[in-house]
Amino acid sequence: MTEFNVQTNLLRVQQNFIRWSEKIEDLSPAFEMFIPQFQKSREGWILAGRNVEGKQHPALTERYAVRKQQLYGNRPILVASGKLLGAIRGGSGWKQRVTKKSLTMEIDLPYASYPQDMTRGKQRNYWLTKNGTLTMMDYAQLIQALEGSIDIQTEAILNKSIIDLARGL
What pLDDT is recorded for position 98? 96
- Report pTM: 0.76
DSSP 40-99: HHHHHHHHTTB-TTSPBPPPPPHHHHHHHHHHH-S--TT-SSSHHHHHHTTSTTEEEEE-
In contact, 166 and 12? CB cutoff 8 Å: no
The SS3 of residue 7 is: helix
Question: Residue 124's pLDDT is what?
Answer: 79
Residue 20, classed as helix, strand or coil, is helix
- Cα 42 to Cα 126: distance, rounded to the nearest angstrom: 6
Q: What is the pLDDT along the chain (169 residues), one digit of tens a residue?
A: 444 455 567 788 888 888 888 888 899 999 998 999 899 998 988 888 888 888 888 888 899 899 999 999 999 888 888 998 999 999 999 999 999 999 999 999 888 777 777 656 677 777 888 778 888 888 888 888 887 665 444 455 555 555 555 455 4
In whole angstroms, how far apart are CA 106 and each of 100, 143, 147? 18, 21, 25
pLDDT of residue 4: 47
Predicted confidence at residue 136, as pLDDT, reads 85
Write 148-157 long-range contacts (CB < 8 A, 24+): 148/29, 149/24, 149/26, 149/27, 149/29, 149/30, 150/20, 150/23, 150/24, 151/23, 154/19, 154/20, 154/23, 157/16, 157/19, 157/20
